[in-house]
A and B are shown apart, each in its own frame.
Chain A
Amino acid sequence: MTSAPVAITGMGCICAAGINLNDTMAALFSGCRAPAPPVSFTCSHLINYPVFEVQGFTPPPDLLRTCSLGLHAAREALADAGLDREFLDSIRVGVSVGTTVGSAMSNETFCRELRFGQQPDMTMLERIQRSNPAAVIAREFGFNGPCQTIVNACSSGTDAVGLAASWIRSGICDVALAGGADELGRITYIGFIALQITDDSPCKPFDLNRKGLNLGEAGAMMVLESEQVRAMRNKRARSFLLGYGSACDAYHLTAPKPDGAGLKSAIAEALACSNTDPGAVAFVNAHGTGTPDNDRVETQVLAELLPGVPFLSTKGYTGHTLGAAGAIEAVFTAACLERGEIPASIGFSTADPALRGNPLTRNTTFSGTIALSESLAFGGNNSVVILGKGGVT
């Protein structure tokens, strides 16, 4: 079934590389990155694993930091789209947000006190109960449309964008804010180290010496808009969401399927529903976490389905921002299409002969109008969005 393009009229993001989209894109093209040991928490591991923390962002304490990252990006995206409160009140607006931390009833201090019989009060958990990311955004802006917090681990952000496009197409809402948000914290940090997929040096996606990922944190949002609303306000689209596909490996809880079957299905679905010829894809924003398994499966699938198409990982600039990753990378993909240029895939220097392809090593201009962003997640989820260059129609 072919699906109609959905206009993206506003974007916003916050991550270690920058507190808004312009700053972040500038950092990506300057080739700068600054992973460092965590500042906001400490652990007793002998090694300090570098992370990508957002510096100088001190949100109010009443909500989870995750929500504040999401709200920050949402404000930028709405302003970018030129949508004011009064107009938004007159239409039906939906919110879909991907997250991992933003929905978990998980608080270490609370757990510690409980275990030691100190009868913790509910303040810590009540803060979580107030902090469901999609609900917080809908409440903050007074939206009354559909509202969904998606928790598909590392593909959540991609899925949130894909879902919002479905809402617009089916008329469930007129405008949707879609994206992802996740904060960095001790619990996730310890968890990923326990899984032994964390690099103790700055991550090196697709490199021979890659040892794993570095964690990051981010918020990223897109404004998706129906053609009726867009025509009403004569608004140019920054990009178009052309297609979305997702499929489950049904293979293992933490390991990707070696043949990449789920990722292949997801790419095939996204290409088919957007009627995109694989030859028209200008570049791929790969998941590219820098873990040995992920990068192997991904390059193999790309070599098979999109041979010769340039690809990159932006996780070398932002770290792996988990539930926000798919969203922020969709934003980057749209911004690169707009600019006609892709940044170098930072962290890569030595080709791995076992991989069927290498990422871009320098900032590269291109002339195409279509690009693909993909996410592979824990639980075997694979999700893909295809974006098109913006314009009036």
Chain B
Amino acid sequence: MQIAVQGIGVVGCFGAGVAKMRQALLTGAVSPAAFDLPGCGTPLAISAFRADTSSLADFVPLKALRRIDNFSRLGLLGAYLALQDAGVPAAEKQERLGVVIASGYGATGSTFAFLDSFINDGDICASPTYFANSVHNSAAAYISIMLGATGPSSTVSQFHHSVPSALQTACLWLAEGRVDRVLFGAIEELSELIGYAWHRQRGRADIPEMTPLLTGAESAIPGEGAAFLLLTRREESQGGYCLLDRVITGRHLKPGFLPSPLDLLVLGADGRIEKGGDYAKLAKKATVACFTSLYGSMPGSPAFDIAIAALMLKEGKTFDSPGSAVCDFPATVATGGESLKGCCVSCLSLSDDDGFGLINLSKG
């Protein structure tokens, strides 16, 4: 069954909303900033693409957010923006709306805060609120509560495989008629924990920009944010962006397995040196694009790629791939502003354990 992308809600270093994302795609100007990690005992800072949720105040009174942590705020903002973009009033009761969330790391800020609460003050002073917020489905719960979404809700967490896996569930729910609409979203939070892990595992604070299409060079800069899609069945869609034809997940993707026809392959390559070669191999001879430099490296990144691919299909033209001036992939990098030759775009993401996700979109 074909699924239609009705609305997009994105929050990232580029700002909040499709217009901000589009603007960044046109200018290519998004710069990482220093991210201080004061809780690490010694002075430490990394370079990161951070996201700001202050525009959530446009949708809900601050009072309603008092318990809601940064992770869930990112998700809520993405959710509200996607509904707004699709022209669905947030006040409408959403009885047939499903919520599917993908997050590689979950609410690590609250997880850390919960541990802190009893490390600092003793086991008896453990904070129940932080504990509740640290549970992986807290963002899904807050979104359902705030929107009155009483349909099914599910959260998926498996690092870089989370997005394609969760999206497959969203599509199944629509195909089975369990729900009429699904609010699908990826959320990643750059907490101090993730920042420190990044520092230890990657250790480069001096990367000026990401060059994701250059193999053999580490250029990943961590990002955070949320990317949401409001999905419906094709026959119930109105306007909207594009069709989501198929989500394929599995392990050991071989080059010949790319869909045909394929007009543009959006690569999830994000400057992590261990994945660059695999993307290059799979992209062989294809026309490719890569947008990770706009929002940074994070497990939920494929959701941003889908959002950008949907926007390209709606506008019928491509965007430049930022940071692709240096490229050694055996592929053709699409030039921004050109019309999309055909109407089939695929987003490819590779995960640990040789896992892959291939999301096929078309103009419809």
Are these two chains actual partners, yes or no?
A: yes
Task: Give the complex CA separation of A153 and B176 in angstroms.
Answer: 24
Known A191-B114, A248-B99, A379-B137: A144·B132 in contact at CB below 8 Å: no
The complex places the Cα of A249 from the Cα of B128 at a distance, in Å, of 20
Choose, from A104-112, A208-216, A332-340, the stretch at the interface: A104-112
B115:A111 contact, CB within 8 angstroms: yes
Verify B132–A115 contact, CB threshold 8 A: no
Binds B, one of A18-26, A128-136, A293-301: A128-136
Bound-complex Cα distance A150 to B102 (A): 10
Which of the segments A51-59, A261-269, A354-362 contacts the partner chain? A261-269
Task: Say if the beta carbon of B277 comes within 8 Å of chain A.
Answer: no
User: Which of B23-31, B117-125, B321-329 faces chain A?
Assistant: B117-125
Q: Are B132 and A134 in contact (CB under 8 A)?
A: no
Residues of B within 8 Å of A250, CB to CB, are 144-145, 147-150
Which B164-216 residues have C-beta < 8 A from chain A?
A: 165-166, 168-169, 172, 175-178, 193-194, 196-197, 200-201
Residues of chain B in range 33-63 having any CB-CB distance to chain A below 8 Å: 39-42
Q: Does A291 contact B (CB under 8 A)?
A: no
Contact status A106-B128, CB under 8 Å: no
User: Using a CB-CB cutoff of 8 Å, which residues 155-170 of chain A contact chain B?
Assistant: 159, 163, 166-167, 170
Residue of B nearest to A97 (CB): B158
Bound-complex Cα distance A15 to B319 (A): 54
**Distance A191 CA – B99 CA, assembled complex (angstroms):** 26
- Per-position 1/0 for A120-139, Cβ under 8 A of B: 01100100010010110011
Q: Known A119-B42, A248-B151, A380-B141; judge A103-B119 contact (CB<8 A).
A: no
Give Cα distance in the complex from A379 to B249, angstroms: 28
Task: Identify the interface centre among A143, A172, A248: most chain B CB within 10 Å of its CB.
Answer: A248
Q: Which of A63-86 contact B (CB under 8 A)?
A: none
Q: Which residues of A contact B40 (CB under 8 A)?
A: 114, 117, 119
Contact present for B150 and A261 (CB under 8 Å): yes
A378 with B135, Cβ < 8 A, contacts A147-B165, A170-B175 known: yes
Output the nearest chain B residue to A378 by Cβ-Cβ distance.
B135
A379 touches B123 (CB 8 A): no
Q: Is the CB of A135 within 8 A of B352?
A: yes
Contacts of B194 in A (CB 8 A): 105
Give B96-152 interface residues, CB cut-off 8 Å to A.
99, 105-106, 108, 111-112, 114-116, 118-119, 122-124, 126-128, 131-138, 140-142, 144-145, 147-152
Residues on A with C-beta less than 8 A from B131 are: 190-191, 194-195
Asked if residues B126 and A194 are in contact (CB atoms below 8 Å), the reply is yes
In the complex, A253 has a CB within 8 A of chain B: yes
Which of these, B127, B153, B166, B250, contacts A381 with CB under 8 Å?
A: B153
B198 to chain A, nearest CB (A): 10
* Residue among B124, B150, B169 making CB contact with A247, cutoff 8 Å: B150
Q: Does A90 contact B (CB under 8 A)?
A: no
Q: Is the beta-carbon distance between A122 and B201 smaller than 8 angstroms?
A: yes
For A313, list chain B residues within 8 Å (CB).
Answer: none
Within the assembled complex, what's the spacing in Å between the Cα atoms of A121 and B199?
11
Is the CB–CB distance between A3 and B116 below 8 Å?
no
Q: B106 touching A103 by the CB < 8 A rule? A: yes
User: Residues of A contacting B42 with CB < 8 Å?
Assistant: 117, 119
Give A271 Cβ to nearest chain B Cβ, in Å: 14
- Which of A105, A135, A152 is the one whose CB lies under 8 Å from B161? A135
| Most chain B beta carbons < 10 A, residue from A129, A148, A159, A252 | A148
Q: For residue B147, which residues in chain A have a CB less than 8 angstroms away from its CB?
A: 250
Given the interface pairs A115-B39, A378-B141, the reply to whether A103 lies near B136 with Cβ below 8 Å is yes
Q: Are A248 and B153 in contact (CB under 8 A)?
A: yes
A146 is contacted by which of B127, B150, B152, B249 (Cβ under 8 Å)? Answer: B249
**Distance (Å) between the CB of A144 and the closest chain B CB?**
5
> Looking across the interface, which residue of chain A has its beta carbon closest to that of B168?
A146
CA distance A34 to B155 in the complex (A): 33
**Of the residues A106, A125, A135, A191, contact of B126 by C-beta under 8 Å:** A191
A379 near B111 with CB under 8 A, answer: no
Residues of A contacting B166 with CB < 8 Å? 148
Tell me the minimal C-beta distance from B262 to chain A in angstroms: 21
Contacts of B176 in A (CB 8 A): 1, 3, 166
| Residue from the set A3, A129, A145, A151 with the largest chain B CB neighbour count within 10 Å | A151
Tell me if B301 counts as interface (CB < 8 A to partner A). no
> CB-nearest residue of chain B relative to A187?
B115
Partner of B41, one of A118, A146, A172, A196: A118
- One of B41, B134, B140 near A104 (C-beta < 8 A): B134
When C-beta atoms are compared, the residue in chain A nearest to B40 turns out to be A114
The answer to whether B123 touches A149, judged by C-beta atoms less than 8 angstroms apart, is: no
A45-B124, A145-B250, A149-B157 known; A247 and B151 CB under 8 Å? yes
Given contacts A100-B135, A249-B150, contact A115 B128 (CB under 8 A): no
Report A-chain residues with C-beta under 8 Å of the C-beta of B118: 190
A91 part of interface (Cβ distance < 8 Å):
no
Closest residue to A3 on the B side, CB-wise?
B176
Which residues from chain B contact A1 at a C-beta distance below 8 Å? 176-177
A197 to B, closest residue via Cβ: B128
- Say whether B353 faces chain A, with CB atoms less than 8 Å apart: yes
Asked if A116 is an interface residue, CB under 8 A from chain B, the answer is: yes
Is A265 touching B150 in the complex (CB atoms < 8 A)? yes
12 other A-B residue contacts (CB within 8 Å) besides A150-B156, A187-B115, A252-B145? A108-B115, A111-B115, A115-B39, A116-B41, A119-B41, A153-B135, A170-B172, A247-B151, A248-B144, A248-B151, A262-B150, A379-B135
29 examples of A-B residue contacts, CB within 8 angstroms: A43-B123, A44-B123, A44-B124, A100-B136, A105-B194, A111-B112, A111-B119, A117-B42, A125-B197, A129-B352, A132-B157, A132-B158, A135-B355, A138-B353, A139-B353, A147-B165, A151-B137, A163-B169, A167-B172, A191-B114, A194-B127, A195-B132, A246-B152, A247-B152, A248-B99, A250-B147, A265-B150, A378-B137, A381-B137
